[in-house]
């Protein structure tokens, strides 16, 4: 991937790491006191036109972290499964083997597809192929040979939950994972199934798919499921207590408002002093190794001066997810919000100036605040001063920015038909959308790690 357009400070440093621009080094001029020549606007560089669109579903572990992704290739018109060759090409272009060095890459695959095409380049330490069970016994010998070849190549194997009742004993023979359809069971039958599996196959790790709500995720984890897949990740948690916004988050919101009003940095520092926890966090931001300072910052006034307006704004936006009694779910939402914001920023570089791209990044970040805080977006926006266009899209997904946000959500949810339609309406190719999506996921993962 070619270098993307550089930004100042911490996020430029993270971007440098992610885009592979040589060894990571500390910038001698992180705040651009000596302005460089203005860079040419560079959009994400797409690979060759894909015959299909990559669909990603987050796999969430028991610690409420993104453990990996279920990956499949879908045709833009109608969202049907792509043919095996197109699937392999799309997955290879997405760098699945590299992803599988850090996270699970769960790839649905038929035994015949493995025989017809070389899927071994997709295999990394955490690549798992989801194999369907053969319907006919005359297919069984070939199927077993394929499963053995996958294991010998270093891949794990997952079987669907329907394989549990198969009389041919395929689950204990080849399965490392079982993928269970949570929505296809009553709670009583699902609990009974899990109990039976713990007794009969204690070494097999369980995944539950079609998990729609946070309470369902907690239920699955409490009953021995290792991973969950479903739409619950960006849904509000109905069991989350709805109350007032915590004091530390109120302080961060007021600081964000002051920055948008271009208030004096000294006045912003006074707002920060209302909450000692915020002071500690901002000072820690200024002392981050990513900034390359040789002398420690000890006070809030100096910290705000060191960070500057642009970096402070982004740091405070991230801090919204880590303020108060932050939970693992908050960290998950932070990574997803960063990925959404980064996607909007990257795709915006094709048609918008830097200021507009900054707004798109902020839009992505703020669009999950209602999930974070457990309250309607209208109540959240009562506290934050935003432009009318930003408020319109956050409240109604409408206005000039509405289609941008809908495109980001369609990419996340794997709504391939909507991705194709919205990309066309906004003047973006599917290739550039795919490139931005891949870059944003990797960037958000690294940003969360480096900003922890």
DSSP state, residue 8 = S
Please compute the mean of the pLDDT values over residues 268-281 and round it to a whole number.
Answer: 88
Query: Which carries the bigger pLDDT value, residue 237 or residue 57?
Result: 57
Q: Confidence class of residue 324 from pLDDT cuts 50, 70 and 90?
A: low
Question: Does the structure show a pLDDT above 50 at 15?
Answer: no
Question: Does the structure show a pLDDT above 90 at 393?
Answer: yes
Question: Does the structure show a pLDDT above 90 at 48?
Answer: no
Lowest mean pLDDT segment, chosen from 1-10, 237-246, 311-320: 1-10
Query: Which carries the bigger pLDDT value, residue 181 or residue 290?
Result: 181
Q: Confidence class of residue 451 from pLDDT cuts 50, 70 and 90?
A: low
Lowest mean pLDDT segment, chosen from 5-9, 256-260, 289-293: 5-9
Torsion (CA) 85, 90, 94, 97 in degrees, nearest 10: -20
Name the CA radius of gyration of the chain, rounded: 23
Handedness of CA 440, 46, 105, 413 (dihedral sign): positive
Q: Where in the chain is the domain with CATH 3.20.20.450?
A: 53-234
Q: In the structure encoding, which two tokens stand for residue 216, read together? A: 């369902």
Please compute the mean of the pLDDT values over residues 31-56 and round it to a whole number.
Answer: 53
Quickly count: other Cβ atoms within 10 Å of residue 108's Cβ.
Answer: 18
Instruction: State the DSSP H helix or E strand holding residue 74, giving kind and residue range, or none if neither.
Output: strand 66-74
Which one of 152-161, 334-343, 419-428 scores highest in mean pLDDT? Answer: 152-161
CA distances (Å), origin 240, targets 24, 168, 237, 370: 41, 45, 5, 12
Are 22 and 283 spatial neighbours (Cβ–Cβ below 8 Å)?
A: no
In terms of C-beta density within 10 A (0-12 exposed, 13-18 middle, 19 or more buried), how is residue 302 classed?
A: middle
**What's the CATH architecture for 53-234?**
Alpha-Beta Barrel (3.20)
Collapsing DSSP to helix, strand or coil, 167 comes out as coil
Q: For residue 373, what pLDDT is reported?
A: 82
Q: For residue 233, what pLDDT is reported?
A: 92
Share of the chain above pLDDT 90, in %: 48
Report d(CA 9, CA 51) in Å as an integer. 38
Quickly count: other Cβ atoms within 10 Å of residue 253's Cβ.
Answer: 20
Question: Does the structure show a pLDDT above 60 at 18?
Answer: no
Query: Which carries the bigger pLDDT value, residue 224 or residue 359?
Result: 224
Question: Does the structure show a pLDDT above 50 at 19?
Answer: no
Are 41 and 5 spatial neighbours (Cβ–Cβ below 8 Å)?
A: yes
Q: Confidence class of residue 243 from pLDDT cuts 50, 70 and 90?
A: low
Q: In the structure encoding, which two tokens stand for residue 433, read together? A: 């959308």
């Amino acid at each position: 991937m070619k270098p993307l357009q550089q930004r100042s400070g911490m996020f430029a440093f993270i971007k440098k790491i992610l885009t592979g621009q040589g060894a990571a080094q500390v910038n001698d001029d992180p705040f651009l006191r000596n302005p460089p020549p203005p860079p040419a606007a560079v959009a994400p560089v797409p690979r060759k036109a894909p015959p299909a669109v990559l669909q990603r579903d987050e796999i969430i572990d028991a610690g409420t972290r993104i453990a990996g992704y279920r990956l499949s290739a879908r045709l833009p018109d109608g969202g049907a499964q792509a043919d095996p060759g197109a699937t392999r090409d799309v997955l290879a272009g997405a760098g699945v083997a590299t992803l599988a060095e850090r996270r699970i890459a769960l790839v649905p695959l038929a035994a015949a597809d493995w025989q017809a095409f070389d899927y071994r380049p997709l295999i990394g330490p955490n690549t798992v192929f989801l194999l369907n069970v053969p319907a006919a016994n005359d297919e069984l010998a070939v199927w077993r040979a394929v499963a053995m070849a996958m294991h010998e190549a270093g891949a794990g194997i997952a079987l669907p939950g329907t394989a549990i009742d198969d009389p041919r004993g395929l689950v204990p023979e080849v399965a490392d994972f079982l993928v269970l359809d949570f929505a296809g069971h009553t709670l009583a039958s699902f609990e009974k199934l899990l109990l039976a599996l713990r007794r009969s196959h204690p070494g097999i790790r369980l995944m539950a798919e079609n998990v729609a709500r946070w309470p369902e995720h907690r239920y699955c984890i409490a009953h021995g499921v290792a991973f969950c897949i479903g739409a619950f990740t960006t849904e509000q948690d109905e069991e989350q207590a709805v109350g007032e916004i915590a004091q530390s988050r109120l302080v961060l919101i007021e600081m964000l408002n002051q920055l948008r009003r271009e208030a004096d940095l000294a006045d912003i520092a006074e707002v920060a002093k209302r909450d000692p926890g915020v002071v500690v966090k901002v000072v820690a931001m200024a002392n981050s190794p990513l900034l390359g300072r040789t002398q420690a910052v000890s006070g809030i006034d100096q910290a705000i001066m060191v960070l500057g307006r642009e970096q402070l704004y982004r740091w405070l936006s991230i801090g919204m997810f880590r303020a108060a009694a932050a939970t693992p779910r908050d960290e998950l939402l932070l990574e997803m919000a960063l990925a959404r914001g980064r996607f909007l920023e990257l795709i915006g570089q094709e048609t918008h100036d830097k200021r507009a791209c900054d707004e798109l990044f902020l839009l992505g970040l703020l669009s999950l605040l209602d999930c974070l805080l457990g309250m309607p977006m209208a109540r959240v926006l009562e506290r934050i001063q935003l432009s009318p266009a930003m408020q319109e899209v956050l409240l109604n997904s409408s206005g000039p920015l509405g289609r941008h946000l809908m495109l980001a959500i369609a990419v996340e949810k794997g709504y391939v038909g909507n991705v194709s339609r919205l990309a066309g309406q906004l003047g973006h190719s599917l290739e550039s959308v795919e490139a931005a999506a891949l870059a944003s996921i990797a960037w958000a993962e690294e940003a969360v790690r480096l900003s922890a």
